[in-house]
Amino acid sequence: MNAALLLRRYPHCLAAAGCTGLAAADAARCSSPVLAALAAGLALLAATEAGVARLAVATCALALAGWWWGSARLDALDASTLVNEVGRAETGEVVVTGPARRGRFELRVPAQVRRFGRLRPRESVLLELPLGRSPPQGAILRVLGQIELPRGPSHGFDERTWLRRHGVHVVLRGDRWSMIGRRGGFGGVADRLRAWLGRSVATGMHGERRALLEGVVLGDDQGLSDGLRRDFRASGLYHLLAVSGQNVALVAAGVLLLAWLLGISRAIGEVGALGAMAAYVVAVGAQPSVVRAGIAGALGSLAWLSARQRDRWHFLLLGALALLAWNPYVLLDAGFQLSFAAVAAIFTVAPALRTRLDGYPIPGKLADAIAVSAACGTATAPIAWFQFHAIPLLTVPANAAAEAAMVPLLGLALATAAVAPFSTGAAAALAWLAGWCAAYLAGCARFFGGLPFAQIRSGRAAVLLAAVAVGAGAYAWRRCRRS
């Protein structure tokens, strides 16, 4: 890469250096102040250089700073006061920090312990409660419970390691609980936004359709039956139940459209879009895909307001940088890997596939869906096998079929939430239409997920599929070179 191109990619190199340093902390930690001082010294040296030399020194400084910060964050995430209390039972006070998940024998609730006996740890835990009513997100509970260690490896899943990567080291197994209040502050605002959005997007709806609407808009699949969740996974449509960039883009587009209809200036509309995207990200929670999309959308609006050029690769790197800076363990998370691999494939592989489809009698919208589905399916297949030991084979036709309903469903659901405070009847009518889109999505998942050989779970079959994919890729590359 020549010097001129390197200098044009200055922001990309810096963001990539920061990501590399943060990711390095997962392999080896160094939280020594000497490393931080070395990074600061290199940053000062970069200010005295020019051209490629400045870029090289600044890149090294950011990589070292990222390594130091990532190591410090991992040390903080691995610290636990309550591990020393394993086996002890006390009355404690906890705050529910996320939606409860119903298991076969208990409710599993993400929470933060504010008090446990005489301790004031303010530490994240997994709260297990007896089956029954679920405590709402944001509730402050008084719980009589015992501290235990999470479950170890079982059936290919190590819950203890997974929880540790999210800063959770113990389970509080509660016998009795009572709600004594609700949290305030920024967390309370997020709780109220999520509760309002959950009530509004499916006004008047019940059962499976309501659960699907909440799953697509909020990323919460708890209302779905086990069989339907299995069908979504087998068909390759499970990603539709995780909040993605498409959701964030529709929120921003809706605000901009409303501003245009009301005759409001584009600048004010962009500011409104920034606020709406921030509120949506806060409401649905810090999922990798929505944080990445929220950062990209916010930077896009700021770029428009400042009349600067937009660059999707730079936005993608900044999204990864923000997530890794908060928790470097997220690099090992399946959601992070699948989200960023899919977006990278959309940027690189999908355009080439779309060009190859131009010579076939396929409608433009369908060709777009096929190209994106094929690119994402190919890029995420190795990750799906490594993380879940399963590869959906019908992801391309399933996603091509489901694509027709996704934008209308999201648009109608978000419009329902916007209209609900003003007209319950209009909101119910919009939700009824969105419910039909949700029923169509469920039908796609059941049809494709129920077909024989919808997904691969055998190691031999996975090796054969990989060989076929490599052969097809080599053949396509040769054809492309010849043409």
Write the pLDDT tens digit of every residue in 44-56. 888 887 777 888 8
Write the pLDDT tens digit of every residue in 340-398. 888 888 888 888 888 887 777 778 778 888 888 888 888 888 888 888 788 888 888 88
Cα–Cα distance, 186 to 191 (Å, whole number)? 9
Q: What radius of gyration do the chain's Cα atoms show?
A: 24
The pLDDT, as a whole number, for residue 482 is 61
- Quick one: DSSP state of residue 119? B
Q: Are 410 and 214 in contact (CB under 8 A)?
A: no
The answer to whether the Cα torsion of 261, 202, 237, 274 is positive or negative is positive
In the chain, CATH 2.40.50.140 sits at 82-183
The pLDDT, as a whole number, for residue 297 is 64
The pLDDT, as a whole number, for residue 289 is 62
Cα–Cα distance, 332 to 324 (Å, whole number)? 10
What are the residue ranges in the chain where pLDDT is below 50? 1
Upper half-sphere CA count for residue 428 (Cβ side, 13 Å) = 6
Cα–Cα distance, 407 to 412 (Å, whole number)? 8
Q: Where are the alpha helices (DSSP H) in 220-265?
A: 226-235, 245-261
Q: Are 409 and 434 in contact (CB under 8 A)?
A: yes
Q: Are 187 and 138 in contact (CB under 8 A)?
A: yes
Joined together, the tokens standing for residue 147 give: 């501290």
Q: Are 388 and 365 in contact (CB under 8 A)?
A: no
- In the chain, the N- to C-terminal Cα span, in Å, equals 26
Cα–Cα distance, 280 to 254 (Å, whole number)? 13
Q: What is the pTM of this model?
A: 0.82
Pairing of the two strands 89-96 and 139-148: antiparallel
Cα–Cα distance, 241 to 213 (Å, whole number)? 9
The pLDDT, as a whole number, for residue 412 is 87
Q: What is the CATH number of domain 82-183?
A: 2.40.50.140
Q: Please give the sequence-ordered ranges of beta strands (E in DSSP) within 117-255, or none if there are none.
A: 123-130, 139-148, 153-154, 157-158, 171-182
Residues 6+ apart with CB under 8 A from 161: 153
| Of 480, 417, 418, the residue nearest 203 (C-alpha) | 417
The answer to whether the Cα torsion of 68, 70, 75, 79 is positive or negative is positive
The pLDDT, as a whole number, for residue 67 is 95
Sort residue 285 into left (φ over 0), alpha (ψ -120 to 50) or beta. left
Cα–Cα distance, 129 to 215 (Å, whole number)? 23
Residue 23 phi/psi, 5-degree rounding, is -65, -35
Cα–Cα distance, 251 to 263 (Å, whole number)? 19
Query: What Cα–Cα distance (Å) separates residue 367 from each residue in 237, 246, 362, 373?
Result: 18, 18, 6, 10
Cα–Cα distance, 394 to 353 (Å, whole number)? 18
Q: Which residues pair with 130 in a beta bridge?
A: 106
The pLDDT, as a whole number, for residue 24 is 94
